[in-house]
């Protein structure tokens, strides 16, 4: 792995992510959006999510759904850093026999909950999973769903935002990566779309790990929570 | 005994909720009043999720529940269950490899007076395009009960297509198999009547020396019962888009020369309201229409 140094437990650090990402080549179109999610996905896996690469199907795990399946390089790099997949799996991503495609397929990758790529699917599924946990009276696991600001164009998200708010799905957290991709923008701010449906919200610098972490771990009794993570404009 | 397929559906759900802790009903307003009237929502408040008029969400939520180990029953009018959220069914269920029971009401021409927006004769053909969907088309409320129970106890993706239109008598059907309704001489032509088309077919062929097979499971198609008849002339009478199962019949008989006539709902904008029977006639699916088409096919002059 060249000049990379892994820690004693075999995990790689944030500083290694760049190297891990350079193992993946060939997805020029999506490479920029991949990096827009890097710090959020790293912070989630490093200090927010209760997930364990040795028990990816643990019923008590937090569920993370990358709804924005575009540009999954950062996601794959973090999964490799946290030992869900071997780092040498990254180098031939997108090839016929690789489990790693330009859009992820949950059936092929350990610890990946769903397959995404067509936009606007993750959040409705996340609402269903949260309701499932509620029916099972499992109050501890959280459901985290990452979407893009352009992905919010898809109406299915707004169906989900409304219902999650009305049902007070406290175990649900949505992270919106805001990099100015939405063609027609979101006048009044992205957070306001959620707030009007009763969600709690935080808008943070999507490159600041401490900010991201505190926004994602903030308590929000009785309501779902959205974190708008702002990064450089596309 | 339930008097309509919808009643059979409500009764079966009541049974499922009582016996299967994993059964959860996901709705988009349609059906809520019926389940309320039956007292089920009051009795099992956690097990009904009404999304409001949000069909994409209805299917996505159902998939999320399936991921958490539940057996979702997803229900609406045919076009709003299958066509509007089709990509959700494709990705959230088929691609994610999840199971669920999709139950429609109002199929065939139940919605004749409501117009084209409430009709979806494309439904079975659309779901056929996705991998591993079992499909049931009951022709009587009692058959609906049998097929709904089978759908509830399987783990796969199942579509159950319910109509108000019904045959006068239930047959002793078995999920997955065609029922031999009438056996003609060996090798005589076979008429396959699907679900609610049976009474009209029987009326049409009463004077013809044909075998009548009755299909209530249309996917996977019961090739063996068809092959056993040794027929080389096949007539398929479907209560949805014409020729929906033609490729299954061609596949079943791929090694035998045969002729096939497909009758069903024509792919056209009729632009008429009226009664279901008006529409049945307009598509040539009343017993006179069926007899004319079969006669031309079997006995060309």
pLDDT per residue as tens digits for the range A181-228: 999 999 999 999 999 999 999 999 999 999 999 999 999 999 999 999
pLDDT in tens, B119-139: 999 999 999 999 999 999 999
Number of Cβ within a 10 Å radius of residue A127: 29
Comparing alpha-carbon positions, the chain B residue that sits nearest to A122 is B60
Question: How many CA atoms are closer than 13 Å to the CA of A59, on its beta-carbon side?
Answer: 8
pLDDT at A25 over 80: no
C-beta of residue B216 within 8 angstroms of C-beta of residue B143: yes
What pLDDT is recorded for position A71?
A: 79
CATH 3.40.50.970 given to domain A31-69+113-230: yes
Res. A4 pLDDT band, cuts 50 70 90: low
Backbone angles phi, psi at B66, to 5 degrees: -60, -40
pLDDT at A29 over 50: no
Token digits for A6?
Answer: 């892994």
pLDDT at A32 over 50: no
What pLDDT is recorded for position A2?
A: 44
What pLDDT is recorded for position B281?
A: 97
**Long-range residue pairs from A85-89, CB within 8 A, at least 24 positions apart, any chain:** A85/A109, A85/A110, A85/A111, A87/A1, A87/A4, A87/A12, A87/A20, A87/A23, A88/A1
**Helix, strand or coil, per DSSP, at residue B203:** helix
User: Would you call B67 and A114 a contact, using CB atoms and an 8 Å cutoff?
Assistant: yes
* Average pLDDT of the residues in A159-175: 98
pLDDT at A151 over 60: yes
User: Would you call A124 and B61 a contact, using CB atoms and an 8 Å cutoff?
Assistant: yes
Radius of gyration in angstroms for the set of CA atoms belonging to chain B, rounded to a whole number? 19
User: Would you call B59 and A106 a contact, using CB atoms and an 8 Å cutoff?
Assistant: no
Return d(Cα B59, Cα A96) in angstroms, integer. Answer: 31
User: Would you call A133 and B68 a contact, using CB atoms and an 8 Å cutoff?
Assistant: yes
Burial bucket for residue B177 (CB in 10 Å: 0-12, 13-18, 19+): middle
Is the ipTM of this structure higher than 0.90?
yes
Measured in whole angstroms, the distance separating CA B2 from the mean position of its chain's CA atoms is: 18
Radius of gyration in angstroms for the set of CA atoms belonging to chain A, rounded to a whole number? 17
Res. A144 pLDDT band, cuts 50 70 90: very high
Task: Output the DSSP codes for B55-93.
Answer: HHHHHHHHHHHHHTT-EEEEEEEHIIIIITTHHHIIIII
Task: Output the DSSP codes for A49-73.
Answer: ----TT-TT-TTSPEEEE---S-TH
What pLDDT is recorded for position A220?
A: 97
Task: Name residue, tokens 């009758």.
Answer: B263
Q: What strand order describes the sheet that includes A143-148?
A: A63-66, A143-148, A172-178, A225-230, A200-205
Res. A46 pLDDT band, cuts 50 70 90: very high
- Dihedral of alpha carbons A67, A71, A72, A78, sign: negative
* Average pLDDT of the residues in A21-44: 76
Query: Is B68 within 8 Å of chain A by CB?
Result: yes
What pLDDT is recorded for position A70?
A: 86
Cα end-to-end distance, chain B, whole Å: 47
The beta-carbon neighbor of B68 closest among A105, A129, A163 is A129
Q: What is the mean pLDDT of chain A?
A: 93
**Helix, strand or coil, per DSSP, at residue A172:** strand
What pLDDT is recorded for position A77?
A: 95
What pLDDT is recorded for position B2?
A: 84
Measured in whole angstroms, the distance separating CA B193 from the mean position of its chain's CA atoms is: 12
* Average pLDDT of the residues in A22-44: 75
CA distances from B287 to A226, B222, B262, B291, B295 (A): 60, 25, 15, 6, 12
Domains of chain A, by residue range, sit at 31-69+113-230
Domains and CATH numbers, chain B: 5-161 (3.40.50.970), 179-298 (3.40.50.920)
The beta-carbon neighbor of A125 closest among B54, B63, B87 is B63
pLDDT at A16 over 60: yes
pLDDT in tens, B29-43: 999 999 999 999 999
pLDDT at B96 over 50: yes
pLDDT at A33 over 90: no
Return d(Cα B266, Cα B42) in angstroms, integer. Answer: 43
Higher pLDDT, A164 or A8: A164
Backbone angles phi, psi at A172, to 5 degrees: -100, 130
Return d(Cα A60, Cα B230) in angstroms, integer. Answer: 57
Pairing of strands B217-219, B133-136: antiparallel
Shortest Cα–Cα distance, B80 to chain A (Å): 14
Token digits for B208?
Answer: 């013809």
Return d(Cα A22, Cα A207) in angstroms, integer. Answer: 20
Token digits for B140?
Answer: 């009587």
Task: Output the DSSP codes for A57-125.
Answer: T-TTSPEEEE---S-THHHHHHHHHTTSS-GGGSTTTTSTT-S--SS--TTTSTT------STT-HHHH
pLDDT at A13 over 70: yes
Q: Which residues fall within 8 angstroms of residue A105, CB to CB, at 6 or more apart?
A: A99, A112, A115, B95
Res. B1 pLDDT band, cuts 50 70 90: confident
What pLDDT is recorded for position A10?
A: 83
pLDDT at A234 over 90: no
Task: Tell me the sheet residues that pair with B215.
Answer: B194
What pLDDT is recorded for position B38?
A: 98
Token digits for B78?
Answer: 């045919």
Return d(Cα A174, Cα A130) in angstroms, integer. Answer: 12
pLDDT at B173 over 60: yes
Token digits for A156?
Answer: 């299915």
What pLDDT is recorded for position A56?
A: 96
pLDDT in tens, A60-97: 999 999 999 987 999 999 999 999 999 999 999 999 99
Q: Which residues fall within 8 angstroms of residue A161, CB to CB, at 6 or more apart?
A: A123, A174, A193, A194, A197, A199
CA distances from A120 to A19, A81, B56, B126, B273 (A): 31, 27, 9, 21, 36
User: Would you call A127 and B95 a contact, using CB atoms and an 8 Å cutoff?
Assistant: no
pLDDT in tens, B44-87: 999 999 999 999 999 999 999 999 999 999 999 999 999 999 99
- Dihedral of alpha carbons B72, B76, B81, B85, sign: negative
User: Would you call B56 and A124 a contact, using CB atoms and an 8 Å cutoff?
Assistant: yes
The beta-carbon neighbor of A163 closest among B47, B51, B97 is B51
pLDDT in tens, A112-127: 999 999 999 999 999 9
Torsion angle in degrees (nearest 10) through CA of A168, B80, B88, B93: 90
pLDDT in tens, B142-162: 999 999 999 999 999 999 999
* Average pLDDT of the residues in B250-254: 98
Number of Cβ within a 10 Å radius of residue B161: 32
What pLDDT is recorded for position A233?
A: 83
Comparing alpha-carbon positions, the chain B residue that sits nearest to A112 is B96
Neighboring chain A residues of B65 at a CB cutoff of 8 Å: 128-129, 131-132, 135
Query: Which of A10-14, A156-160, B37-41, B193-197 shows the lowest mean pLDDT across its residues?
Result: A10-14
Shortest Cα–Cα distance, B94 to chain A (Å): 11
Residues 8-67 of B with CB under 8 A from A: 24, 26, 46-47, 49, 51-52, 54, 56-57, 59-67
């Amino acid at each position: 792995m060249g000049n990379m140094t892994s820690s004693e437990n075999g995990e790689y650090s944030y500083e290694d992510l760049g190297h891990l990402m350079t193992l993946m080549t060939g997805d020029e179109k999506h490479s920029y959006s991949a990096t827009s999610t890097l710090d959020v996905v790293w912070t989630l896996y490093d200090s927010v999510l209760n997930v364990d690469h040795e028990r990816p199907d643990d019923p008590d795990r937090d569920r993370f759904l990358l709804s924005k399946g575009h540009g999954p390089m950062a996601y794959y790099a973090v999964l490799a850093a946290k030992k869900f997949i071997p780092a040498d799996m990254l180098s031939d991503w997108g090839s016929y026999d690789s489990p790693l495609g330009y859009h992820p397929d949950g059936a092929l990758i350990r610890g990946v909950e769903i397959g995404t790529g067509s936009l606007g699917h993750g959040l409705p599924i996340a609402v269903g999973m949260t309701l499932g946990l509620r029916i099972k009276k499992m109050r501890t696991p959280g459901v985290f769903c990452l979407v893009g600001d352009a992905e919010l164009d898809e109406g299915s998200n707004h169906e989900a935002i409304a219902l999650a708010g009305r049902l007070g799905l406290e175990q649900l957290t949505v992270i919106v990566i805001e990099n100015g991709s939405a063609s027609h923008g979101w006048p009044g701010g992205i957070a306001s779309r959620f707030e009007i449906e009763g969600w709690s919200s935080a808008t943070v610098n999507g490159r600041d790990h401490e900010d991201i972490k505190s926004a994602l771990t903030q308590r929000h009794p009785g309501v779902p929570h959205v974190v708008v993570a702002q990064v450089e404009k596309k | 005994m339930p008097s309509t397929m919808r009643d059979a559906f409500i009764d079966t759900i009541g049974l499922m909720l009582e016996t299967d802790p994993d059964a959860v009903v996901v709705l988009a307003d349609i059906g809520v009043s019926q389940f309320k009237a039956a007292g089920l929502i009051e009795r099992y408040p956690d097990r009904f999720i009404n999304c409001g008029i949000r069909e994409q969400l209805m299917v996505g939520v159902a998939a999320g529940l399936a991921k958490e180990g539940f057996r979702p029953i997803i229900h609406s009018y045919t076009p709003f269950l299958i066509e509007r959220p089709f990509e959700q069914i494709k990705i959230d269920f088929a691609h994610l490899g999840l199971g669920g029971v999709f139950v429609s009401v109002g199929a065939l021409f139940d919605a004749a007076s409501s117009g084209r927006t409430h009709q979806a004769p494309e439904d079975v053909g659309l779901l056929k395009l996705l991998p591993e969907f079992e499909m049931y088309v009951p022709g009587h409320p009692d058959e609906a009960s049998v097929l709904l129970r089978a759908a509830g106890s399987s783990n796969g993706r199942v579509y159950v297509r319910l109509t108000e239109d019904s045959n006068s008598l239930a047959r002793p059907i078995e999920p997955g198999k065609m029922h031999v309704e009438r056996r003609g001489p060996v090798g005589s032509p076979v008429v396959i009547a699907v679900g609610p088309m049976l009474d009209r077919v029987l009326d049409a062929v009463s004077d013809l020396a044909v075998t009548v097979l009755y299909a209530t499971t249309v996917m996977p198609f019961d090739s063996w019962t068809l092959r056993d008849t040794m027929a080389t002339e096949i007539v398929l009478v479907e209560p949805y888009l014409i020729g929906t199962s033609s490729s299954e019949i061609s596949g079943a008989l791929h090694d035998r020369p045969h002729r096939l006539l497909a009758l069903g709902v024509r792919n056209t904008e009729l632009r008429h309201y009226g009664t279901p029977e008006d529409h049945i006639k307009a598509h040539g699916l009343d017993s006179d229409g069926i007899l004319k088409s079969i006669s031309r096919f079997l006995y060309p002059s």
